[in-house]
Amino acid sequence: MNRKNHWENIYTEKSPLKVSWYQKEPLLSLELISNSKLDKNAAIIDVGGGTSSLVGLMLDEGYSNITVLDMSSTALGIAKHRLGERSNLVKWIEVDITEFNPLHKYDLWHDRAVFHFLTDVQDQNKYIDVLKKTLKTRGYVIIASFAVDGPKKCSGLDIVQYDSKKISDKLGLRFRLLENRPELHITPFNIEQKFCYFRFVKI
């Protein structure tokens, strides 16, 4: 099964409240975005945003230039439906991130549990090339992945675990690590999952 079909099936078959990565409030993401001290009209993209509540909470905080990208139209449909009329305040892009051709540049790129699914080096390099051309110089990137002592699979798929050295080596010299924060995520089934959040600035 290709990866788009995998994700469409997941969001068709499961409640968004019952997927292992579900968070009621993505507090660490919000904190790291806030630490980036951006203007409220800064261009922010949530890559692989899925059905996350992050976009709604960012709108609550006054951010006005938000894009949510995901390869699953089902996930984007659920996220839009949840926001109701406020979904018109958000730009929605359905595409595989490795194939994304940005029309303009962003001040902040947020990715929770997306890059870690790219186990193939060619795909990882495509993602990093897209990141480089999408993010402004002095823009911020927040990537959250499973930690090196965390799970080895997510949603039935193999993932790559990262620590700060491994992710820094992967992203290369144009990205300077600013923060490295662990998170113990508790799934809806009460399973502990160790995540690590990395915030970089592009230099």
With CB under 6 A as the contact rule, the residue among 67, 87, 98, 145 that binds ligand SAM is: 98
- By residue count, the chain amounts to 203
Task: Name every residue whose Cβ is closer than 8 Å to that of residue 107 and which is 6 or more positions away in sequence.
Answer: 36, 38, 42, 43, 44, 135, 136, 139, 140
> Are 93 and 69 in contact, with CB atoms under 8 Å apart?
yes
User: Is residue 167 near ligand SAM by the rule CB under 6 A?
Assistant: no
User: Is residue 75 near ligand SAM by the rule CB under 6 A?
Assistant: yes
With CB under 6 A as the contact rule, the residue among 96, 128, 195, 197 that binds ligand SAM is: 96
Q: From the CB of 183, what's the least distance to ligand SAM, in Å?
A: 11
The CA–CA distances, whole Å, from 201 to 95, 131, 137, 150 equal: 25, 12, 8, 25
With CB under 6 A as the contact rule, the residue among 112, 170, 199, 202 that binds ligand SAM is: 112
User: Is residue 139 near ligand SAM by the rule CB under 6 A?
Assistant: no
Task: Name every residue whose Cβ is closer than 8 Å to that of residue 1 and which is 6 or more positions away in sequence.
Answer: 9
The Cα–Cα gap between 191 and 140 comes to 31
Nearest 5 degrees, angle CA 42-CA 162-CA 180? 50
Q: From the CB of 113, what's the least distance to ligand SAM, in Å?
A: 4
Q: From the CB of 154, what's the least distance to ligand SAM, in Å?
A: 6
Q: Which is nearer to ligand SAM, 11 or 200 (CB)?
A: 11
Q: Which is nearer to ligand SAM, 39 or 56 (CB)?
A: 56
Contact positions toward ligand SAM, by CB under 6 A? 3, 7, 21, 48-50, 52, 70-72, 75, 96-98, 112-114, 117, 154
